[in-house]
Amino acid sequence: MWLFVVARNTLLNSRRGDRRRSAAVTRLSERIAIQASDAETDTAVELRLAISRLPAELSEIIRLTYWDGFSSAEVAQILGLNASTVRTRLSQARAQLRTELALWDDPIATD
């Protein structure tokens, strides 16, 4: 009987923790949504535009890495690529983004 009580309490504690985490995630996502709508700056718009101008395979890697928070190994699994290929493409994408955003900061360089 003792083992059943321990198992029951363990399950109840786990469910209680899941509910707390779920509620915390909901509160956090609501707070982020409010802040994101308030913080729509020119920089955010420029960055989204620069990412959209990247080739599709590079923009996908940028989004998976920085927006979704996946590691290079996870992105490689998702896209069915080698991790080294993902790291190389991520490096290329960052270099292209730096160039694109530098052009936004220095409009004379485009003449």
Spelled out in words, what is the top-level CATH class assigned to the domain 40-106? mainly alpha
| pLDDT recorded at residue 35 | 65
| pLDDT recorded at residue 111 | 46
As to burial, measured by CB atoms within 10 angstroms (0-12 exposed, 13-18 middle, 19+ buried), residue 5 is exposed
- Domain ranges in the chain are 1-39, 40-106
Q: Where are the beta strands (DSSP E) in the chain?
A: none
- Give residue 95's identity as a one-letter amino acid code: A
| pLDDT recorded at residue 30 | 80
Spatial distance between the Cα atoms of 75 and 105, rounded to a whole number of angstroms: 31
| pLDDT recorded at residue 81 | 92
| pLDDT recorded at residue 33 | 73
pLDDT tens digits, residue range 51-100?
A: 888 898 899 999 899 888 899 899 999 999 999 999 999 999 999 988 88
Q: Mean pLDDT for the chain?
A: 84
Look up residue 65 and give its DSSP letter.
I
